[in-house]
Structure 1
Amino acid sequence: MIGSFAYAGTELDLNFIHSWNLSNTTQRDIDPNDDQAGETVIYNSEDLTEETAYLHWVLDNHSGLSPGIMVKSDDMPFKSNNCIMASGLEIPSENDPSVMITKTCSNYKGSSKRFKMVVTKADSPVDLIFDVAGKDFTWTEYPTYPQPGDEVARIYRVMQKFENDTAKRVQSFKVELGFTVGGIFTPVNPALDHIGLETRECIAVKLFDDAAGQGAPGDCVSGDFAEVWLENEFATFSPKMFSLITDSRTSPIGGFWDKKAAGIFPPETQTGLGFDVMLAEIDSGTAQVHGTIVGATTHNYFDISEGSDAGSIPAIPGTPFGYLMHGGIVPSGIYCDLDGDAATEGVLMAWWDGLNWRWGIDPVNPATCAADGSVGPDPFGVVPDATLVEWAVRPLDEQMVQTGPRYEQAPADDLRSLNVDTFIYLGKDYDRVVHPDFTLRLTLASVTDNTIAGTETPEWKLPGQEAPALQSYIGSDGIVALTAGLAGVPLDITVTDVDLNADGTQESIAVTLVNERTLESEEVTLTELDTNSPVFTNMLATVDNPVVGADNNQSLNVVAGDRIVVTYTDADDGAGGIDVTKTAAATILTPASTTNGDGGGGGASIGLPMTLLLALGGLFYAPVRRMIYGTDKP
């Protein structure tokens, strides 16, 4: 035994996980000018030749740093006191983003605590090695703890997210603890080695020095027990995709796909011991059989058209989604960025099923980019073409922040990613002289395509059924849009017109803006978003000044209430019209105003800024032509 009992509320030299051991890793894609730019590559061979996974350093809140994983011990506000999490120094405070706080286990939910591992090789172990050291631990709530026979240990919650980038579907996966010596992995013996995967749901709060009555009740008998392991949280999809409307992370909306959790759970154990003990491994396994589902994949992911709270949706073709998908077969999604900033995370609005763009289990309000949490009355309904056009004319610009909402088309990657929660028990009698480090091993077990139910080629990957580009819903009838804010805030100008995408270069067009009060005029050049886009965009600075400014000086003098008109000449409107004048108008807002439009608009609005709806004119009162089905334009 290392250390000794000190029956005065202190355990001397108690074992703790010191740090991630990088002996089987390398680093790549490092940018000396960006601390977050880089990846840590993990190998399962001592010669560092066989890559099995890598970790992103960058995180959603930009708090990530090398090497991607860090260990925190004795963070007392955290339920298990200790964790293995994404590495970083500081994060923005929850209540005041301008104030930075230390990155640690007990940070608020949604603060990028999970480390992001991309698994690149199925059926091959991914090994994370951790070094063990010793430091004292003092009980303040229970100053006489521990007494002879009392349990003394540190329990670490491992907070990770893995993405399946193996080019194979995953049927099950296994987490193991062991010791790696000379390249040979030997599983731990929890009873003899005093280390294991903790699967007890309830542990006396004294172990964590948590005040009596403060433990999470859950399945525990009282507040004097802390809730730790939960088998139904072993491996779950993002709560934004699948969760209850009462889930604190997504309330009151719940998940996009279903209003209950989904993932690979409950897992099986291969030791025959069951749960509520320490284990050497936790395996989701393939012994469970639920109808056509072999293994622990939940029904509401395996077949969203049958297994969700919405009941049977026979209109959805095929059997989406089957076993855990890889990045090459996830469906395409349309995402909304309410703030118009590509650096922030978008909200999934719709997905492509192979024939149609569909809402989630409840439609999303375009004005707020949020659903209402109710199921129906048309779950997974088809998104109208008119709505797709509204989204298409407001594309997200990767280089420039524009007035939101903005929309982009991207793979629904959350459908190939799982949040995994395991707990490592490190007892006081663990011998770190014999075992100065241990290995946490993750192995994904693949299933061969087109062999059993759930391995079929998805409908959206069949030839001719791939998702059409969102901008393909834009026709030859040019659309000009203008969005205004407060005086001093730039005007946001967009023109969408298929005819303007004439060649493979990044083209430009000219529009004219006029302040109707002063008649000051500015000609603005709009630039094509990329070399193959019908969308042209730019911004014009405004100055809070009632005096008439000079024409064409790259800014427009305005005050609250000024009406600005933009004019664009459409050379061919697709209906025989030549050199047709198109206009849009916007009114400069007054402080605390809640709309940036001129008012009116009637029933055409489904939530976009009124200025955009006015620019679209009668578009929503007539059938909309779909140009093509496919990603390439004619």
Structure 2
Amino acid sequence: MKRAKSMISTAIAIGVAVGTLATFNAAEASQVTSWDMSSVEIGPPTNVTDPGFIFDQYNYIPEGSLVDPNTGAVATGGFMPSGYVKYTVGANFFTNGAMTWKERDTQGPGLSIVNNDDVTGENCIMSAGWNPDSTPDATQMSDWWGVDLKQCSDPWQSSKRFKMVSYVLDGPVDLTFQVSDTGTEDIYRILEKYGNHTGERVTGYTTQLGFLDANGNFTEALPGQGLSFCLRNGSKFSNTAPTPSSMANQGELDSLMAHGLFGAPDKHHTSSGYFNPYVRATFGLLAGETRIETTGLSQVHRDLFGEWLPADQMKGGYFFDMDGIVYTDNALMASCEGVFDEAAALAGAPNAGCDGTWVTYRESVDVVDNGDGTWTIPPSVGTDIRQPIPVDAATLEAWANDPLWIPADIDDLANVNVNSYMTVGSIASWPTNDGNGNASFTIRITPTFDATVAQAEPGTTDPQDFVVSITAPTTVTP
């Protein structure tokens, strides 16, 4: 409890109200055993074909499970055969949302439960698939992938987060888990990426712990009922005096936008965010024992784009593919000030699909080849120093003829990385208890829009509006 006491003392010193944190105690409890997919509709994969592609080293599949549609060859060595697909996009659908993934090291069904991590012994709810860094000493491609199942302790940036998206504003998305009585209280880390696919702006969302009955009715768990959000050490939050995310360590209680868009360099990121090199864009969180509520989106985001954008209203970006592998993170070099049409851009539309001006928030757009397979990317410049500058026509023409420069949606604007912890305790009073040591619980997440606090995007008058132009290019000019 030293850490909890230290947090409370600090809060008093700076005048911030912090919730009471309950002590973690070993007690009769349950272990999460599986994701209950009984009400999940498994979606068909979406394949992107490329007959000229030999194999995809980023897409492990069981040996012999696929046949090349062009040559009839059977997949061997755990890789896609020639001409099959570059990647497969999978989805599992449930009421008001979906679990999505791109099958490379991440595999269906998109989510897995890890009990007793093989390195640290911790528990977590994370993505499903293989650890892409599990075979650093491999000497041939057939040994490269599919060796170790994903674990909580896998390295940073190894696709550990399951990705859940909401399709309906105010529509709850439920993840139900089966548990079994183990006699100990267990802590689970939740590694999630949450996406706004509602088609509408969102000012926040609520995450609840509770139970679904046979008719699909949800009841939030009661304090002390054996389900609670907590800190990494198991200290439980309080519904009556919730704890703000500002009083937890990063990684314990967060809702973060991609660092490549907003944020100063840190231990994981050597460069700064494109739009703001100082401040990370986040949703503030207020955590109670059985619910976590957002307290608003960072002003650095709202001043540029208003409230949280949905995936079908993305801003346009021009990216530089530093390693020639489009799947890996690419550097955002310029952004479209106007309406952007990604499909038209990729088809060769004038001005790369932007009906306005391409600008850069970086010092320049001149990348430098270091001669060793790496590139030096100019740093971003804060708007307190200089407003973004236009990209000239000659540069745009050069980019259009260089495959390393790619116009695309800045899709990370529709996602947040969510970090939290929960304890699973005694199932004795759970309404889902079957009397034989088994039960289930549900994590419910609901996106919302509060017009009383919403801020409009510059160029619009209503906080719910989007920047729309009827002159946006949608066809390729011969």
Q: TM-score range by the shorter chain?
A: 0.5 to 0.7
Asked whether the 8 Å contact 1:86–1:114 carries over to 2, the reply is: yes
Within-5 A mapping of 1:259-278: 259-268=277-286, 275=287
Rounded to whole Å, the distance in 1 between the matches of 2:322 and 2:34 is: 39
2:78 equivalent to 1:68: no
Matches within 5 A, 1:540-579: none
* 1:440-483 deviation line (CA, Å, top 9, x unaligned): 0011113679x863426444x3233x4x6xxxxxxxxxxxxxxx
Change (3 A) 1:189 1:82: same
Percent of matched pairs sharing the same residue: 24
CA distance in 1, matches of 2:416, 2:469: 26
Is the alpha carbon distance of 1:56 and 1:172 closer, same or farther for their aligned partners in structure 2, counting shifts above 3 Å?
A: same
* 1:168-183 → structure 2 map (5 Å cutoff): 168-182=200-214, 183=216
SS of residue in 1 equivalent to 2:320: strand
Gaps of at least 5 residues in structure 1 are 1-10, 45-51, 137-151, 205-217, 221-226, 269-274, 286-295, 304-319, 397-405, 469-629
The corresponding residue for 1:37 is 88
Counterpart amino acid of residue 180 in structure 1 = L
Unaligned runs of 5+ in 2: 1-25, 48-64, 67-79, 236-245, 339-355, 369-374, 458-462
Any idea what the Cα deviations from partners look like across 1:308-359, whole Å, max 9, x if unmatched?
xxxxxxxxxxxx3011101222211111112333344422111101232111
Q: Which one-letter code corresponds to 2:397 in the other structure?
A: V
Q: 1:166 Cα deviation (Å)? A: 1.2
Using the alignment, how far apart are the partners of 1:13 and 1:173 within structure 2?
32
- The answer (yes or no) to whether the contact 1:330–1:415 under 8 Å persists in 2 is yes
Structure 1 residue 243: deviation in Å? 2.2
2:440 aligned with 1:408 = no
Q: For the Cα contact (< 8 Å) 1:263–1:418, is it kept in 2?
A: no
1:436 equivalent in alignment to 2:439: yes
Contact 2:28-2:425 within 8 A present in 1 as well: no
For residue 53 of structure 1, the aligned residue among 88, 97, 111 is: 97
Larger radius of gyration: 1
Which deviations, in whole Å up to 9, do the C-alpha atoms of 1:460-511 show, x marking residues without a partner?
x3233x4x6xxxxxxxxxxxxxxxxxxxxxxxxxxxxxxxxxxxxxxxxxxx
Match of 2:357 in 1: 356
Report the Cα distance in structure 1 between the residues aligned to 2:456 and 2:282, rounded to whole angstroms: 16
Counterpart pick for 1:339 among 298, 306, 323 = 323
1:382 equivalent among 378, 390, 404? 390
Post-superposition offset of 1:123:
1.1
3-state DSSP of counterpart to 1:390: helix
Counterpart of 1:564 in structure 2 is: none
Instruction: Give the match's secondary structure for 1:267.
Output: strand
Q: Distance in 1 between matches of 2:387 and 2:137?
A: 37
Q: Pairwise mapping of residues 116-265 of structure 1 onto structure 2 (< 5 A)?
A: 116-135=163-182, 153-182=185-214, 183-191=216-224, 193-198=225-230, 200=231, 203=234, 230-231=252-253, 233=254, 235-246=255-266, 248-251=267-270, 253-265=271-283
Distance in 1 between residues matched to 2:250 and 2:406, nearest whole Å: 39
- Structure 2 counterpart of 1:105, from 152, 168, 178: 152
The answer to which structure has the higher strand fraction is 1
Identify the structure with bigger relative contact order (alpha carbons < 8 Å, sequence gap 6+): 2
Q: CA deviation at 1:381?
A: 2.1
Aligned-residue offset at 1:427:
2.2
Deviation at 1:384, TM superposition (A): 2.6
Q: Deviations over 1:355-390 (max 9, x none)?
A: 321113554542326333664764522223232222
Cα distance in 2 for residues equivalent to 1:632 and 1:456: 31
2:76 alignment counterpart: none
Q: Are 1:262 and 1:301, in contact at CA under 8 Å, matched by a contact in 2?
A: no
Shift of 1:301: 0.5
Does the CA-based 8 Å contact 1:169-1:448 persist in structure 2? no
**Conserved? CA contact 1:239–1:249, under 8 Å:** no
Aligned to 1:284: 294
Give SS of 2:308's match.
coil
The equivalent position to 1:462 in structure 2, one of 436, 447, 469, is 469
How many residue pairs match? The answer is 366
- With normalisation by structure 2, the TM-score equals 0.68
In the other structure, the counterpart of 1:25 is 40
- The one-letter code sitting in structure 1 at the alignment partner of 2:445 is L
1:370: which partner in 2?
377
Q: What letter corresponds to residue 16 of structure 1 in structure 2?
A: Q
Take 2:290 and 2:175, find their aligned partners in 1: how far apart are those partners?
Answer: 15
Aligned 8 A contact 1:15 1:428 in 2 = yes
Q: From 30, 43, 46, give the equivalent of 1:15.
A: 30
With over 3 angstroms needed to count, the CA separation of the structure-2 counterparts of 1:95 and 1:165, relative to structure 1, is same
CA distance in 2, matches of 1:162, 1:22: 19
Q: Which amino acid aligns with 2:221?
A: V
User: What's the secondary structure of 2:396's corresponding residue?
Assistant: helix
TM-score by length of 1: 0.52
Inter-partner Cα distance in structure 2 for 1:372 and 1:421: 28
Separation (CA, whole Å) in 2 of partners of 1:384 and 1:17:
56
Shift of 1:264: 4.5
Q: Is 1:83 the counterpart of 2:115 in the alignment?
A: no
| Matched residue, 1:633 | 477
